Structure 1
Amino acid sequence: MKKPTPAGSSPSAFSRRAFLGGTAAATALVTLESHAQAPTASAPSSASTQAAKPFELEEATVVDLQAGMKSGKYTAHGLAERYLARINELDRKGDLPLLSVIELNPDALAIAAALDKERKEKGPRGPLHGIPVLIKDNIATADRMETTAGSLALVGAKPQRDAFIVERLRAAGAVILGKTNLSEWANFRSTKSSSGWSGRGGQTRNAYALDRTPSGSSSGSGVAAAANFCAVAVGTETDGSVVSPSAASSLVGLKPTVGLVSRSGIIPISHTQDTAGPMTRTVADAAALLSVLAGIDPSDAATAASQGKAHADYTKFLDPNGLQGARIGVPRERFFGYHGPTDALVEQAIELMKSRGATIVDAPIPTAAKLDEPEFEVLLFEFKADLEAYLAGLGEGTHPRTLADLIQFNDTHRSTELAYFGQELLHMAQAKGPLTDKKYRKALADCRKLSREQGLDAVMAKHKLDALIAPTQAPPGLIDLVNGDHWLGSSSTPAAVSGYATITVPAGYVFGLPVGLSFIGRAWSEPTLLKLAYAYEQASRHRRPPTFAPSADLRLKAST
């Protein structure tokens, strides 16, 4: 959910990470039904050697898979079988398993078979017809899967309908393989949490080094997409939860403008900052997935603002020469300086963009240091109001109805839910009043003013910019269930608080650990950001699949 507070900022500010048919396939479906256990401290024994086995679909794109289905090389059923078998082979094996997938869809193969029949009789519905997708476990599905935000408190609490974006995915012909693990409650529970841990799913691990954090809160979506457990994945973000785990897994992560993608049916933190977004291995796949996710939803009033601003096909903006003539700002004062090797990779990226025709200018965001405290106040108020509204809509059952109920559930189930860290944020949110409170109204007004007219809008207008760029964050740190996450800094907050768009793209590796570069834009700037990110991606070609190494290779240093 929320990014760390950079060194030197106010100690009272919020300082934690973000937040967000065959025999083999049948075996996978059964295997993932069991509850994940807490990770052990021993070294991995087999995951890295298993990962060395060749996988036919490794790094396959949506275009690749569609071409294969068109030619008859693949079927949707066959693709689903292959991905399910890979999940079974790699996600839960070894002493330190990835635990990126919290549950598989027992109907996935039947859905895929029906889509094959439809393709044969009527042709494909579009670019995602038959494409296997994984979605975060805070996105509701009214099927045989759970929707829990990783919490045992919501096991058995069935949503009345699919989330709007799930309806969009199904209508497009996507095959939802299952749900991904996440930082519980999208990482809005404790100030000392371990990203990627949930009471229901255990601790997700980074596929590039198994002792490293996957970042959060869309931890499982990031790891699963990076490990080629699906073609594309969907995450959600309040502040950093798409871009942070994407950067940590050498992915493309797109956090759309709030209102471009519906939030109805997604377990909330904040109606002013929440959004779902693509997490993919390429910019082209992110554009294809965004084309399906975007849409006006009568149940989410924020989407009305996208009328006339959304596009049916975002792939049309992909331009390998998109950096030519672009003006790009670099806000060094706030978002550089916390990790030297990360800065070095971004400086290389800047030089590459210059060589491709971009103009680079220094462009500090004058209000960036003032965003943390009002943002945190807004999130506390909105989490209480928005979560209780979601819980009320679940209908009959024994699940918590209020935030107080949830706190009590966690206390009662302390051995499973509070084994490693507490629920300070839930207590802080519970202490807040209604959204009519003057403190909330002032904090919200401050967020909008500081992030928009005095923030991103001001700096981009002053320098006539197409986008800003900054390191997404430092390389992923070690998993620490005792003390919680250790983060040096990130650049997610301006876009998060303003509700504007941002996209992260692989920028290279430090000791084999991924580093991402973020392009940050104004409201509805997805076409521009996709164009710039695609041009940079095509020029740099940094993405490489993970090796499932036990730990970082300290012989590698920084590399591109």
Structure 2
Amino acid sequence: MRHIITGILLATAAMPMAAAARTVAVEERSIDQLQASMTAGTASSVDLVRAYLARIAAMDRKGPTLRSVIALNPDALAQAKALDAERRAGRVRGPLHGVPVLIKDNVETADAMPTTAGSLALKDNMTRRDAPVVAQLRAAGAVILGKTNLSEWANIRSTRSMSGWSAIGGLVRNPYALDRTACGSSSGSGAAIAASFAAAAIGTETDGSVVCPSSINGLVGLKPTIGLVSRTHVVPISHSQDTPGPMARSVRDVATMFSAMIAADPADAATAGAGAYKRDYAAALSTSALSGLRIGVVRPEMTADVAARYEVALGVLKAAGAVLVEVKQPKLDGIGEAELLVLQTELKADLDTYLATTPAAVRTRTLDQVIAFNRANEAAEMPFFAQETFEAAAKTKGLDDPAYKAARAKSLRLAGAEGIDAMLKTARATVLVEPTYGPAWLSEPVYGDQYGGPSASELPAVAGYPNLTVPMGLVRGLPVGLSFIATRYGDGTVLNAGYAYEQRAKARTAPRYLPSAAVGTGLDGARCPGATNTRSLRR
């Protein structure tokens, strides 16, 4: 842990270098705006890196203390300087040239930063290799600014976990209300981009971990179709459901990132056909994309305030020319149990395979050894919750187990053919919409995550279909998102629909770093006139 925190402090100590540089604004700036500044010569990539580093130094371990960044890249300024030189020589690689981005710390980079998944067991996992998705971004000209904190082991260790906590990084805080969850497991990516610590970030999702932190932190996030983005050199949970995905403050920025991320990878068989879908998704965005589009409207159980916000969003879709068709989600008995067996079985197989490729300094080479490490380091690794999911996964019987194969077939059928595909067919629709999640719940170390609201993540996660969340507005000061879901390879469709909605709704509000949610008066009773709408809800 010490060398990771030291990396942050070293980068902070370098801040006086920025005094001689131009002061540039990066808060709430889009990729296009940053690129325009560099094209005009009013900012360089070095200027942008220094500005983001200064913002992180002022706000991540001080100020609001978001704890969203787990390590900074010591070579970020050198990378930016080289890309500035390329620009001066007349070479601009594309819209990401010189743009700083952050990478979730379960995705490897070749920079001098370990890939820890938030666990002390991987504190020495300095692989010096780029995950192919990082190599794609680097080739497109992105500057790798650093790594983001996350729910340890991507939130698969325990069913009683507190989202956003890792032994290395601590607890990520939500920029909209500091006592609320940033959601797992890409919590650091969500909080960091909401706070403008970089232009965009990479998260990963197995079930909800791109769309949940995006929704809860007021961002746009795309969980892509499985097989469009490589998973090689990403600390795994499930080869059936894992995928990296882009997170940013606008649909256009997400589309720009996604366009650079798509590539076939010989080491990841699922991506064999990815090349057919490689294109500039940002260039295809249109504000008229909703005109005549049939959309299936799903109404899960939700609170009255979320329902009211959803109705406003549906009104925006209708005003933009969409044809809205009510559709009920069919009963899909057993999908949760089947998905869990798939994830546990694949976790053991896939994590054992990954750990075998790590450097010799990493002493935990199997899931069983990780479990033993956690027990031996219980005070640091398990102060709030245990590892019962790890222990259950360790008892699974492998990828040839008939029960596992049956569970995968069942979950895939229920989520796809009998789930999303059936709803689209019934509504004769191209896209489904529903609230992504409700507002953020309290970060709770005693009881763990206490969320019980709507969730749009399971079916597209299990089926491998695209799920795009776009800000839908605030509920009592906390962001909520609207999910656009399509069938396999409908990524461009959901990006277009989400963009047309976003441009009309203008529903995103920048964070204010309040100590708690703006819940209104009344917590202290009618005879307490001093109650305010920022009173802490901590227990």
Contact kept in structure 2, 1:103 and 1:179, CA below 8 Å: yes
Secondary structure, aligned partner of 1:507: strand
The count of aligned residue pairs is 508
Aligned to 1:506: 471
Secondary structure, aligned partner of 1:317: coil
Q: Deviations over 1:391-429 (max 9, x none)?
A: 011142242111110001001111100111100110010
Unaligned runs of 5+ in 1: 1-24, 33-53
Deviation at 1:462, TM superposition (A): 2.7
In 1, Cα distance between equivalents of 2:286 and 2:136? 26
1:324 aligns with 2:324: no
Alignment identity in percent?
Answer: 49
Aligned to 2:530: none
Q: Deviations over 1:279-332 (max 9, x none)?
A: 000000000000011111111110013242x13211122111111101111122
Contact kept in structure 2, 1:504 and 1:519, CA below 8 Å: yes
Deviation at 1:344, TM superposition (A): 1.1
In 2, Cα distance between equivalents of 1:64 and 1:556? 40
Alignment of 1:156-195 (within 5 A): 156-159=124-127, 161-195=129-163
Aligned to 2:404: 440
Contact kept in structure 1, 2:218 and 2:481, CA below 8 Å: yes
1:29 aligns with 2:29: no
Deviation at 1:203, TM superposition (A): 0.3
Larger mean Cα displacement after TM superposition, 272-281 or 139-148: 139-148
Amino acid of the residue matched to residue 281 of structure 2?
Answer: Y
In 2, Cα distance between equivalents of 1:390 and 1:502? 27
Secondary structure, aligned partner of 1:122: coil
1:478 aligns with 2:442: yes
1:89 aligns with 2:58: yes
Amino acid of the residue matched to residue 514 of structure 1?
Answer: P
Contact kept in structure 2, 1:501 and 1:521, CA below 8 Å: yes
In 1, Cα distance between equivalents of 2:137 and 2:408? 33
Secondary structure, aligned partner of 1:178: strand
Secondary structure, aligned partner of 2:497: helix
Unaligned runs of 5+ in 2: 1-6, 15-22, 523-532, 534-539
Contact kept in structure 2, 1:77 and 1:116, CA below 8 Å: yes
Contact kept in structure 2, 1:367 and 1:450, CA below 8 Å: no
Alignment of 1:68-467 (within 5 A): 68-94=37-63, 97-159=65-127, 161-308=129-276, 310-332=277-299, 336-368=300-332, 370-467=334-431
Contact kept in structure 1, 2:435 and 2:481, CA below 8 Å: yes
Amino acid of the residue matched to residue 316 of structure 2?
Answer: L
Larger mean Cα displacement after TM superposition, 362-371 or 108-117: 362-371
1:61 aligns with 2:49: no
Larger mean Cα displacement after TM superposition, 158-167 or 481-490: 158-167
Contact kept in structure 2, 1:339 and 1:488, CA below 8 Å: no
Amino acid of the residue matched to residue 40 of structure 2?
Answer: S
Secondary structure, aligned partner of 2:433: strand
Alignment of 1:16-55 (within 5 A): 29-30=11-12
In 2, Cα distance between equivalents of 1:290 and 1:556? 43
Contact kept in structure 1, 2:341 and 2:407, CA below 8 Å: yes
Deviation at 1:219, TM superposition (A): 0.1
Aligned to 2:493: 528
Aligned to 1:45: none
Contact kept in structure 2, 1:367 and 1:454, CA below 8 Å: no
Amino acid of the residue matched to residue 155 of structure 1?
Answer: K
Contact kept in structure 1, 2:152 and 2:167, CA below 8 Å: yes
Deviation at 1:69, TM superposition (A): 0.2
Contact kept in structure 1, 2:8 and 2:72, CA below 8 Å: no
Secondary structure, aligned partner of 2:283: helix
C-alpha change, 1:399 and 1:27, in structure 2 (3 Å) is closer
Deviation at 1:79, TM superposition (A): 0.2
In 2, Cα distance between equivalents of 1:556 and 1:63? 41
C-alpha change, 1:550 and 1:55, in structure 2 (3 Å) is farther
Secondary structure, aligned partner of 1:351: helix
Q: Over the residues paired in the alignment, what is the CA RMSD in angstroms?
A: 1.8
Q: Deviations over 1:416-464 (max 9, x none)?
A: 0011110011001001011000110110010111111111112212322
Contact kept in structure 2, 1:196 and 1:217, CA below 8 Å: yes
Amino acid of the residue matched to residue 260 of structure 2?
Answer: V
In 2, Cα distance between equivalents of 1:486 and 1:55? 41
Contact kept in structure 2, 1:160 and 1:394, CA below 8 Å: no
In 2, Cα distance between equivalents of 1:451 and 1:27? 46
Q: Deviations over 1:368-413 (max 9, x none)?
A: 4542110011000000000000001114224211111000100111
Contact kept in structure 1, 2:24 and 2:48, CA below 8 Å: no
In 2, Cα distance between equivalents of 1:176 and 1:188? 26
In 2, Cα distance between equivalents of 1:457 and 1:26? 46
Amino acid of the residue matched to residue 323 of structure 1?
Answer: L
Normalising by structure 1, we get a TM-score of: 0.88
C-alpha change, 1:26 and 1:71, in structure 2 (3 Å) is farther
Q: Deviations over 1:114-162 (max 9, x none)?
A: 1101111132111100000001000011221010100000011222521
Amino acid of the residue matched to residue 533 of structure 1?
Answer: G
In 2, Cα distance between equivalents of 1:203 and 1:437? 37
Amino acid of the residue matched to residue 315 of structure 2?
Answer: E
Aligned to 1:21: none
Deviation at 1:471, TM superposition (A): 0.6
Amino acid of the residue matched to residue 441 of structure 2?
Answer: G
C-alpha change, 1:556 and 1:133, in structure 2 (3 Å) is farther
C-alpha change, 1:83 and 1:28, in structure 2 (3 Å) is farther
Contact kept in structure 1, 2:471 and 2:480, CA below 8 Å: yes
In 1, Cα distance between equivalents of 2:412 and 2:101? 34
Aligned to 1:6: none
In 2, Cα distance between equivalents of 1:528 and 1:356? 16
Secondary structure, aligned partner of 1:65: helix
Secondary structure, aligned partner of 2:272: helix
In 2, Cα distance between equivalents of 1:521 and 1:31? 47
Normalising by structure 2, we get a TM-score of: 0.92
Aligned to 2:511: 546
Deviation at 1:55, TM superposition (A): 8.0
In 2, Cα distance between equivalents of 1:87 and 1:281? 17
Deviation at 1:28, TM superposition (A): 6.1
Amino acid of the residue matched to residue 52 of structure 2?
Answer: Y
Deviation at 1:182, TM superposition (A): 0.2
Contact kept in structure 2, 1:28 and 1:87, CA below 8 Å: no
Secondary structure, aligned partner of 1:549: coil
Aligned to 2:18: none
